[in-house]
Structure 1
Amino acid sequence: MAVKVYERLLQLFEAEGINTIFGIPDPNFVHLFHLAEERGWNVVAPHHEASAGFMAEAVSRMTGKAAVCIGTLGPGVANLAPAIMCAMVENSPVIFLGGQRARITEQRVRRGRIQFVQQAGLFEPSVKYCASIEYADQTDEIVREGLRQALSGTPGPVYIEYPSHVIQEELDVPPAVPPASYRLVGQQAGPDKIAEAAQAIRAAKQPVLLVGHGVHTARGGEAVRQLADLMACPVIQTSGGTSYIKGLEDRTFPYAFSPSGVEAVVQSDLCLAIGTELGEPVHYGRGYHWVANEANRTWILVEQDPEAIGVNRSIDIPLVGDLRAIVPQLVDALKDTPRTPSPELDGWIRQDAARLAELAETAPSGMSPVHPARLIVEATKVFPADGIMVRDGGATTIFGWTYSQAKPHDVMWNQNFGHLGTGLPYAVGAGVADGGRRPLMLITGDSSFMFHIAELETAARLGLPLVCVVAVDYAWGLEVGVYKRTFGQGSRETGTHWSKDTRLDKVAEGFGCHGEYVERDEDIAPAIKRAYASGKTAVVHVAVDPKANSEEMPSYDKFRTWYAEGTQ
């Protein structure tokens, strides 16, 4: 079968179930974009390549598959850098394709070349695999190695360069083969380890499931629900695992931010951790709340990368492989011996429900501008039950951890790298992956929102049902708080404030979106409802109290422990 190189790239990605590409095309990619659209792909051109990378990462999170993003040669590839580094730290398998001039240009002794820099070496430290298609007949092996590396062990990004001299070359190749023909798929744990884990679970009196980011990005929620039902235990969310698994909403507690979750961890005699690196946000599984009862606690870790076993803490029963294969193994091993819930579980459920109700009642109200805690309460009360939640911002996200009244089944935010500005691109990518069927809500701070505000046009062009609820204090609120804690009240807060004349609702209208301006508590929910009813991408500009936003962040002391000072 004779095909051009750019067509073969599409065939190889299609074999992996990939049908979406993000980027701004240049001469290296116009053929690929044109053909992709003809083949029924989602072809999305945002306004910045970094946004394209974040959008691709969101698609990967929503589908459990690798995703594809391109950057034009030189400056376009340079713009990919933030997204590449994010994907590495967020463990997201994104294939970044970089355009480049023909190799003869690179090898000549010349000065003053246009749009040219040697690119591959710049990204090599930030990806799992870095390669270039130098010859047309390398296409299959390089793309497959990229996918193999991106999806094996701890997932992560790869960078593949696509020099212009190979664009139009032809290949005589057979049809693209399925993934199992060239990489390990669905790796199970050994039956001896499964039996050992099942026996430990049966013997435990107070087990907990620790659910991380990987459960949701692997789309493994349903199997984990079956396992949790058999274990009859509480589910503890890591900071990255904040999506609620359908059917487990009532007994899912955020680690460290819920008294029920803390009590369940302290009393646990077995922890089964799935989809988490046991990193700083859970104190490596050995600090703070884990210290109590450590001597009596058995640890089981489901982990795809064997090199991760025992790094942050010792593991009693490692189950090495793909959680999508291992969790069903555990379900099968336990299906005839389901556990009976401990008497404490019902108490923890009632305690956590009372906590949320009390927070909704006690969040400061009646202020204008609005208290940020009240913003979170009012916005999340009207969050659509089937919606996709996206978070962004510093202080705004910290308020959200504590005060959110919603329990979404899909939550997306940049929890490991902490890269501000990802929220709007993530929302666009999630909406593209979902086909625009489910409503999206982005809750963000103003400074973060403006990183990639041009992508409002992208969302509007795609007709996404997205409502952006923006907490506006005209400042870097988290950093204002840092100044105050460092230098005292009344200190000069250099570089943290910006113009109070900015109206983000009006900016939204300029992009063809629906805009709402709010400065009172009681107007938040009606504005959000009108925004969804408009049928357009929308921005709800909520003026929040800057003093409260910088000084009253809840559980800030707990957040600081994530950096684990003194425990490195």
Structure 2
Amino acid sequence: MSNDISVGEALVRLLEAHGVDMVFGIPGVHTAELYRGLATSKIRHVTPRHEQGAGFMADGYARVTGRTGVCFIITGPGLTNTITAMAQARADSVPMLVISGVNARKTLGKGQGYLHELPDQSGMMKTFAKASVTLTSGENLARTLADCLSLAQAGRPGPVHLEIPTDVMVERVPVPVAALGAPAEPQAEAAALAAAAEAISKASAPVILAGGGAVRADEALRAFAEKIDAPVVLTSNARGLLSGHGLRVCASPSLPGVRDLIAASDLVLAVGTEFGPTDFDMYGDGRIPAMSRLVRIDRGAEQIAAGPEVVAALVEDSASALTRLLPNVTASAGKNGLKRAETAREAALSNLDGRITGEVGLLHRLRDIVPEARFVGDSTQLVYAGNLYFDALRPGSWFNSATGYGSLGYLPPGAIGAALGDPATPVVAIVGDGGLQFSLAELGTAVDEGVDVVFLVWNNHGYREIETFMVDAGITPEGVKPTPPDMEAMAKAFGLGFARAGDEDALVAAIAASIGKGGAHIVEYVM
């Protein structure tokens, strides 16, 4: 019938109706039917070289756009390849929808040896995704998809898995008229709002801790911090908030100078932060200051329940909660917020050793020479230094995979996703020679998609951070010296621009000469 289409075609139309403009995936026999209507849609398909790359690209795209990153992934090995990226997204509260195939309904759980078969694919995904949903009938597609997209963004955002059996993909369903709406965002109750306002108004030395959940609340956070005269400590994913403002403390709360600020406060307002050890106790010394009076704003009620004891909690989006709370708090003066923030910044900088101080200085030189750029990172020395103390110019202009789940291989795909999500902003992608080899093939995707990315390869000939850790622990280093490829030959093979730098001045000049020139480039910094 002319008014009937396949479930695969209906899925594409519904994704388009929900505002999805890009999907990341590698087609296979178990997802081919999902591609039936894709070529004629307005959705752009991006083909990575590995399914893990698809997940990391969706992550980078979601971080810069705020929209859900969507993947099309084959059953079995394709999906297990994507798990690492989904786990990183779960740790960093990044909204993602992974739509996979699964074998025909009658075969599920039978263990009969079908291609790409898993004992319980959905059960496996439920152990770390926010949810894993099986579409058992085409007639449920519109509602199921709407629910999955909503869940990816609801509360604390994260990855959701939707699997569609191959026999359901080919079912005929009526042409969908429109996407179903998402439920309204929750708002904190009046009693909680009043309790938070009272506690904050009584404080004589308040401090604000802002995490990645506040990254889209810059204006509201700035106004609130000014009104209560409170320093704002920024975790790594919050860097760039209050850019240039005297109340910002762009340093890790793992540093003694910042911990002294927190310990001396009589109220802590935590906005969109989970108190994760990789931000608050990265050295594992267990010396996080006690917070005698804590007010929390977080979209996830379960996150608040799992954390320290609070005097008030607002389960709400950061910008919304701060905006509603602002008129209810008493304006403050004489709390020395600017001085307390300045003292914390200076103390934190003095806590860094000479090597890290130098690396932070290099990052700031790069920031100043390419102020329009976004800095995306993997787990490598320069990124670790920046997470301790990097003063970003805009919210969302510094993020990486070195905190939380801490996966290697995030770059290049995370940087490619970021560049695709915001093509007007060039990307400086910081990666070590060891980490680069986890997803080296995605350089080809960067060329295919024409992204404006400069891959700064921090070449210290191996896994230097791990080698240092082993030496400090009295362990003879082993397995930390993988041979890096010839970066120039590799760039030529993939069709990227290339430059090599042996000192910081040459590196800064090479980045400045490569950024914004169109296409992808490698700048190798040889240690």
TM-score if structure 1 supplies the norm length? 0.83
- Separation in 1, partners of 2:317, 2:48: 33
Superposed counterparts of 1:196-345, under 5 Å? 196-216=195-215, 219-246=216-243, 248=245, 251-256=248-253, 261-280=258-277, 281-282=279-280, 288-291=287-290, 294=291, 297-334=292-329, 337-340=330-333, 342-343=335-336, 345=338
> Is the Cα–Cα contact under 8 Å of residues 387 and 408 in structure 1 kept in the other structure?
no
Is the CA contact (8 Å cut-off) linking 2:24 and 2:70 kept in structure 1? Answer: yes
Q: Secondary structure at the match of 1:429?
A: helix
2: CA distance between counterparts of 1:51 and 1:433? 15
State the distance in 2 between where 1:327 and 1:308 align.
18
* Secondary structure, counterpart of 1:496 in structure 2: coil
Deviation string 1:398-417 (CA, Å, 9 cap, x unpaired) is 23334646544322212210
Asked if 1:401 is matched to 2:398, the reply is: no
Give 1:272 deviation, angstroms: 1.0
Of 408, 412, 416, 2:404 maps to: 416
Question: Matched residues in 2 for 1:355 and 1:107: separation?
Answer: 55
Q: Would the alpha carbon gap of residues 359 and 272 (structure 1) be closer, same or farther in structure 2, given more than 3 Å must change? A: closer
**Equivalent residue, structure 2, for 1:189:** 188
Q: Aligned partners of 2:339 and 2:179: how far apart in 1?
A: 50
**Structure 2: how far apart are the matches of 1:235 and 1:187?**
25
For the 8 Å contact 1:386–1:409, the answer to whether it is kept is: no
Counterpart selection for 2:362 from 372, 378, 382: 378
Offset, 1:307: 3.1
Task: Give the gaps of 5 or more residues in structure 1.
Answer: 365-371, 545-568
Cα deviation, residue 49, structure 1: 0.4
Match of 1:47 in 2: 49
CA 1:406–1:528: 2 relative to 1, 3 Å: same
Indicate the percent of aligned positions where both proteins have the same amino acid: 26
Cα distance between partner residues in 2 of 1:459 and 1:86: 21
Is the 2:247–2:341 Cα contact (8 Å) retained in structure 1?
no
TM superposition shift of 1:535? 2.6
Instruction: Please name the residue that 2:492 is paired with.
Output: 509
- Which residue number corresponds to residue 172 of structure 2? 170
CA 1:81–1:526 in structure 2 vs 1: closer, same or farther (change >3 Å)?
same
Contact persistence 1:389–1:441 (CA under 8 A) = yes
Kindly state the Cα deviation for residue 477 of structure 1 after the two structures are TM-superposed. Answer: 0.9
> How many angstroms apart in 1 are the aligned matches of 2:228 and 2:337?
14
Q: How many pairs does the alignment contain?
A: 517
| Structure 2 residue matching 1:290: 3-state secondary structure | coil
Unpaired segments ≥5 residues, structure 2: none
The partner residue of 1:539 within 516, 522, 526 is: 522
Asked if residue 453 in structure 1 is aligned to residue 450 in structure 2, the reply is no
CA RMSD of aligned residues (A): 3.0
Q: CA deviation at 1:7?
A: 3.2
Taking the aligned partners of 1:137 and 1:160, their CA distance within structure 2 comes to: 15
Cα distance 1:517–1:196, how it changes in 2: closer, same or farther (>3 A)?
Answer: same
**Corresponding residue SS for 2:338:** helix
Give the SS at the match of 2:127: helix
Deviations 1:535-567 (A, max 9, x none): 3311111112xxxxxxxxxxxxxxxxxxxxxxx
Q: In 1, Cα distance between the equivalents of 2:111 and 2:407?
A: 39
- Tell me the residue number matched to 2:508: 525
Q: CA offsets per residue over residues 173-208 of structure 1, 9 Å max, x none?
A: 65334534xx3x221111232222223222221111
CA distance in 2 between counterparts of 1:175 and 1:244 reads 41
State the partner residue of 1:79. 81
C-alpha deviation, 1:316, in angstroms: 0.3
Alpha carbons 1:225, 1:247 under 8 Å: kept: no
Note the alpha carbon deviations across 1:345-395, whole angstroms, 9 max, x for none. 236337736976x899x956xxxxxxx764553344122223211111243
Secondary structure, in 3 states, of the residue corresponding to 2:431? strand
Q: Which residue of 1 aligns with 2:375?
A: 389
State the SS of the aligned residue for 2:208: strand
Residues 453, 521 of structure 2: 8 Å contact kept: yes
